[in-house]
Structure 1
Amino acid sequence: MLPRRLKIALLFVLIAVLSAGCTAANPNHPLPIDPVHGGIWDKFFVFPLSWMLQRTADVFGGSYGIAILIVTVIVRLAILPLMLKQMKSSKKMQELQPLLVKIKDKHKKDPQKYQQEMVKLYQENQVNPLSGCLPILIQMPILLAFYHAIVRTGPIRHHDFLWLQLGEKDPYFILPIIAAATTFLQQWIMMRNNTAMSDNPQMKMMLYLMPAMILFISVSLPSALALYWVYGNIFSIIQTYFLYRDTTPKGGVAK
């Protein structure tokens, strides 16, 4: 488990980054993407995604809905090695849970000794509890860059896909509901295959809190971003299924 102070620090960092990014890319007055004078953010994050989206849309007859799907898959495949590392670490953490419980019971009156023994156990098994944060920290600027690319790329803002105007909110709230539902499903599948997560009260709370946050965000932001979130969740659900198919749910027997 992560130290409480670290969790709070990470939360404040993510909130600060999202707040700054969303303020900069105001949907009502979007700034043009400037890969030359726009600084590191525009040059290395926003412009490449905008360029990929536009070129992919050109290949698929101008469909930015399909372009978002293709670029989402490309981005997720690019960070797949990090996800694999995270899941391997998660499996090891799951295997170490019985030993961690024993150490905690043995040193419940000596928190310092408990921390020392826990760190020793992690080192002996080459497990880093912080590795689970890395994919999240990497995905957040990518998601924020996607937000900028979508809001600040003119053709996307004026493009239709299915019933959606990609630059506007979903008038029927269908996509935000799907985004929240797939977020819940993705987290539920992950917890179902991870004893350490399923036994963690904070993770159980996030199972419901995260979809609620995604629903709230998706309702107020352009449909293109919610579409990206849905595509990403579906990719994660499929990814989790294949990566955990050699295991069974809690209480089951490995194949």
Structure 2
Amino acid sequence: MTMPIASLFTDIPEAIIVFFHDTLGLGWGLAIVALTFVVRLAILPISLKQIRSMRAMQELQPHIKAIQTKHKDDKQRQQQEMMRFYKENEINPLASCLPLLLQLPVFLSLYYMLKGDSFQMDVMNDPPEGFLFINSLIEPPEGTTVTVVLIVLFIVTQLAAGLAMSMRGQGLEGPQRFIIFGLPFLFAPFVASFEAGLSVYWISTNLWTFGQQQLVYKMMGPMKKPTEEEIEAAKPPPPPPRKKKKKSGRQR
């Protein structure tokens, strides 16, 4: 049974999916894909803001590297200078996480909806309707071939979306590199154990992200490369020369 609180999460996504299925005549798999597009359109303004923020960070990489080099021995001072630099240039380093965080409630909603008794009994056909090569959307993928194909599709589309978001891997820091290259493999086992409809949603949102990034970057034009003067200005000043200690004139 779905928990009462969880049922509140499922109402809106279920209403959207049922609308696409009952009113527009889409299959349940295509209805989940359509839900993905509705969600991505709803958060499009935030996604565009995130893209601009990441673009600004990558254009300012020489200055960021200079701050990190200058204060490499004082992590607290380095963090303070980085935050001051972000504030002065109106950059939000956490902006790249917002689209993902905003999708988590929808992902949880879809999870509870696919497991819910009312959706399985009243909405889905018997036997449950599949999608493409997937036998059932409300059950984990059946068979080794289907499972492997879903896992590969998830990893490939997640990597493609992540690399597109980071402008093909330019200027990736440690945490960003882990999110892009590590999380797809970390979450891959869940593809085999969760309802296949969740994989349809996440693969669809990955494809949307990849296409969105390619289109937006093309419209924004090539990234501005720093001039030699800007690179030199961003370099930390050389350390002051050490003063030679004067020998004391004391005699025994």
The one of 185, 190, 208 equivalent to 1:235 is 208
Q: In 1, distance between residues paired with 2:26 and 2:100?
A: 31
Q: Which residue of 2 aligns with 1:17?
A: none
Q: Which residue of 1 aligns with 2:241?
A: none
Shifted more, 179-188 versus 218-227: the winner is 179-188
Q: Deviations over 1:22-72 (max 9, x none)?
A: xxxxxxxx43x8xxxx34x433x3111111111211134361011111111
Q: Which residue of 1 aligns with 2:152?
A: 177
Give the Å deviation of 1:144.
0.9
Q: Which residue of 2 aligns with 1:63?
A: 27
Shifted more, 95-104 versus 224-233: the winner is 95-104
Is contact 1:53-1:71 (8 Å) kept? yes
Q: Any idea what SS the aligned residue of 2:72 has? A: coil
Give the Å deviation of 1:212.
1.5
Of Structure 1 and Structure 2, the greater helix share is in 1
TM score, norm. by length of structure 2: 0.75
Are residues 1:147 and 2:111 paired?
A: yes
Determine which structure has greater relative contact order: mean sequence separation of CA pairs < 8 Å that are 6+ residues apart, divided by chain length: 2
Q: In 2, distance between residues paired with 1:62 and 1:116?
A: 53
Report the RMSD for the aligned CA atoms in angstroms: 2.5
Is contact 2:13-2:106 (8 Å) kept? no
Q: In 2, distance between residues paired with 1:144 and 1:121?
A: 36
Q: Which residue of 2 aligns with 1:131?
A: 95
Q: Which residue of 2 aligns with 1:76?
A: 40
| Structure number, greater radius of gyration | 2
Could you list the structure 1 runs, at least 4 aligned residues long, displaced by more than 6 angstroms after superposition.
Answer: none
Q: Any idea what SS the aligned residue of 1:168 has? A: coil
Aligned length: 214
Query: Structure 1's 67 and 96: CA in aligned 2 closer, same or farther, altered over 3 A?
Result: same
Unaligned runs of 5+ in 2: 226-252
Q: Deviations over 1:131-161 (max 9, x none)?
A: 2222222111221111112221222482222
Is contact 1:168-1:221 (8 Å) kept? yes
Query: Structure 1's 247 and 144: CA in aligned 2 closer, same or farther, altered over 3 A?
Result: same
Is contact 2:71-2:78 (8 Å) kept? yes
Q: Deviations over 1:88-141 (max 9, x none)?
A: 111111122211211222233343433332222111111122222222221112
Is contact 1:188-1:207 (8 Å) kept? yes
Query: Structure 1's 231 and 146: CA in aligned 2 closer, same or farther, altered over 3 A?
Result: same
Is contact 1:53-1:64 (8 Å) kept? yes
Q: Any idea what SS the aligned residue of 2:94 has? A: helix
Amino acid at match of 1:160: G
Are residues 1:168 and 2:122 paired?
A: no
Query: Structure 1's 121 and 204: CA in aligned 2 closer, same or farther, altered over 3 A?
Result: closer
The one of 103, 106, 116 equivalent to 2:70 is 106
Give the Å deviation of 1:86.
1.1
Are residues 1:116 and 2:87 paired?
A: no
Is contact 2:39-2:103 (8 Å) kept? no
Q: Which residue of 1 aligns with 2:17?
A: 53
The one of 197, 213, 219 equivalent to 1:224 is 197
1:236-251 equivalences in 2 (<5 Å): 236-245=209-218, 246-248=220-222
